[in-house]
């Protein structure tokens, strides 16, 4: 049985134009992460991990099959089809590689989700350098505490 979260992540289990699937996967992953982050509960998404991984591996194999056909019978397909297929396969592999080697436990998934909403340190440092605090903040720190009475 396909769980609702797996249906959200993997989409309908029907034939699609293979090179379009990679973008669908990226969009579905972003939506699922946003939803899980908003509700603060990653258990359901983690429960779908193994099935989601199996779906990704199956689609990568399907794309590999298409690429084999394209290499053997290039004139049977419209111009640009091979390039789009290759690009879609690379995009799907990149998504897989960024996710599954790191995602083994619920804590791993939570760390991945946290990265999606966190600003990287180098960006924070660049923002701080571009926007220094006003001098009044420094002056407040140097001022003696007000007398209470």
Mean per-residue pLDDT of the chain: 84
pLDDT value at 117 more than 90: no
Of 107, 87, 81, residue with least CA distance to 26 = 87
| Residue partners of 96: CB distance under 8 A and separation at least 6 | 53, 56, 57, 60
- Enter the tokens of residue 20: 């379009």
What would the pLDDT profile of 42-95 be if each residue is shown by its tens digit? 999 999 999 999 989 998 998 898 899 888 888 888 888 888 889 989 999 999
Q: Which residue has the higher pLDDT, 111 or 72?
A: 111
- Enter the tokens of residue 105: 């436990």
Angle (CA) 63-34-1 rounded to 5° is 55
Handedness of CA 57, 61, 62, 63 (dihedral sign): positive
The pTM of the whole model exceeds 0.85? no
H helix or E strand, kind and range, residue 127: helix 121-130
| Residue partners of 116: CB distance under 8 A and separation at least 6 | 33, 37
DSSP 137: H
With contact defined as beta carbons under 8 Å apart, do 65 and 15 qualify?
A: no
With contact defined as beta carbons under 8 Å apart, do 46 and 90 qualify?
A: no
pLDDT value at 32 more than 60: yes
| Residue partners of 47: CB distance under 8 A and separation at least 6 | 3, 5
The per-residue pLDDT for 21 is: 75
């Amino acid at each position: 049985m396909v769980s609702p979260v797996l249906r959200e992540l993997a989409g309908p289990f029907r034939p699609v134009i293979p090179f379009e699937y990679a973008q669908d996967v990226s969009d579905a992953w972003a939506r699922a992460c946003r939803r899980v982050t908003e509700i603060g509960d990653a258990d359901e998404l983690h429960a779908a991990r193994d099935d989601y991984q199996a779906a990704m591996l199956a689609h990568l194999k399907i794309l590999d099959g298409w690429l084999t056909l394209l290499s053997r019978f290039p004139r049977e397909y419209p111009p640009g089809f091979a390039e789009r297929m290759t690009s879609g396969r690379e995009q799907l592999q990149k998504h897989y590689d960024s996710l599954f080697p790191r995602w083994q436990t619920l804590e791993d998934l939570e760390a991945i989700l946290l990265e999606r909403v966190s600003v990287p340190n180098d960006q924070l440092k660049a923002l701080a350098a571009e926007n220094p605090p006003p001098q009044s903040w420094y002056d407040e720190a140097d001022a003696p505490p007000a007398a209470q009475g």
